[in-house]
A and B are shown apart, each in its own frame.
Chain A
Amino acid sequence: MANQNGEKYGFTGLFPIATNQSDDLRAFLRTLDDPQTYPRGSPLSHVPIIHMARMFIVDRLAYQGTPAKFDGSSRTIWCSCANSMARA
Chain B
Amino acid sequence: MADRARNQYGLGKAVTFNVITPMTRFGTFVVGLLLVIFDRFKSTQVTAKELAFLPFVHWVVVKRDSFPRVSDSQPAEDLHYDYLFFLSTFNGPWGPYIEAFADVLYKPLDLVWFWSVGYPFARPVGPLKAYIQRNQVESDHSYSAYPGASVRDVRSALELRNEVEKLFQSSSGLSPERFAVEFDRLLISVQNKLGTFGPV
The chain A residues found within 8 Å of chain B, CB to CB, are: 2, 10, 12, 14-19, 26, 29-30, 32-33, 35, 39-42, 44-45, 50-58, 61-62, 64-65, 68-72, 75-76, 78-81, 83, 85
A41 touches B7 (CB 8 A): yes
Complex interface: chain A residues within 8 A of B83 (CB): 61
Q: Provided the pairs A29-B140, A56-B138 are in contact, do residues A61 and B70 lie with their beta carbons within 8 angstroms?
A: no
Complex interface: chain B residues within 8 A of A16 (CB): 67-70, 74
- 5 closest cross-chain pairs (CB), A and B: A64-B118, A42-B143, A29-B140, A41-B7, A39-B8
The docked-state distance in angstroms from the alpha carbon of A2 to that of B81 is: 23
B2 touches A33 (CB 8 A): yes
Q: Provided the pairs A12-B85, A35-B6, A39-B8 are in contact, do residues A56 and B68 lie with their beta carbons within 8 angstroms?
A: no
A56 touches B140 (CB 8 A): yes
Complex interface: chain A residues within 8 A of B35 (CB): 2
Closest to B45 in A: A5
B143 touches A53 (CB 8 A): yes
B69 touches A68 (CB 8 A): no
Tell me, rounded to whole Å, the shortest Cβ–Cβ distance linking A88 to chain B: 15
The docked-state distance in angstroms from the alpha carbon of A57 to that of B141 is: 10
> What is the 8 Å Cβ interface bit string for chain B, positions 113-134, against chain A (1 contact, 0 not)?
0000110000000000000001
The chain B residues found within 8 Å of chain A, CB to CB, are: 2-3, 5-8, 12, 14, 16, 18, 20, 22, 35-36, 39, 55-56, 58, 60, 62, 66-70, 74-75, 77, 79-81, 83, 85, 87, 89, 117-118, 134-135, 137-147
The docked-state distance in angstroms from the alpha carbon of A83 to that of B143 is: 10
Closest to B42 in A: A5
Tell me, rounded to whole Å, the shortest Cβ–Cβ distance linking A33 to chain B: 5
The docked-state distance in angstroms from the alpha carbon of A32 to that of B7 is: 11
The docked-state distance in angstroms from the alpha carbon of A21 to that of B80 is: 25
- Tell me which of A14, A57, A85 contacts B67 (CB under 8 A): A14
The docked-state distance in angstroms from the alpha carbon of A51 to that of B43 is: 24
Complex interface: chain A residues within 8 A of B75 (CB): 75-76
- Tell me which of A35, A52, A72 contacts B14 (CB under 8 A): A52
B22 touches A78 (CB 8 A): no
Most buried by B among A39, A62, A68, A76: A62
Sample 10 A-B pairs with CB under 8 A, ordered by A number: A29-B2, A29-B141, A33-B142, A41-B8, A45-B143, A45-B145, A62-B134, A70-B80, A71-B79, A76-B77
Closest to B131 in A: A64
B141 touches A32 (CB 8 A): yes
- Tell me which of A12, A40, A62, A69 contacts B135 (CB under 8 A): A62
The docked-state distance in angstroms from the alpha carbon of A78 to that of B79 is: 13
- Tell me which of B58, B79, B143 contacts A41 (CB under 8 A): B143
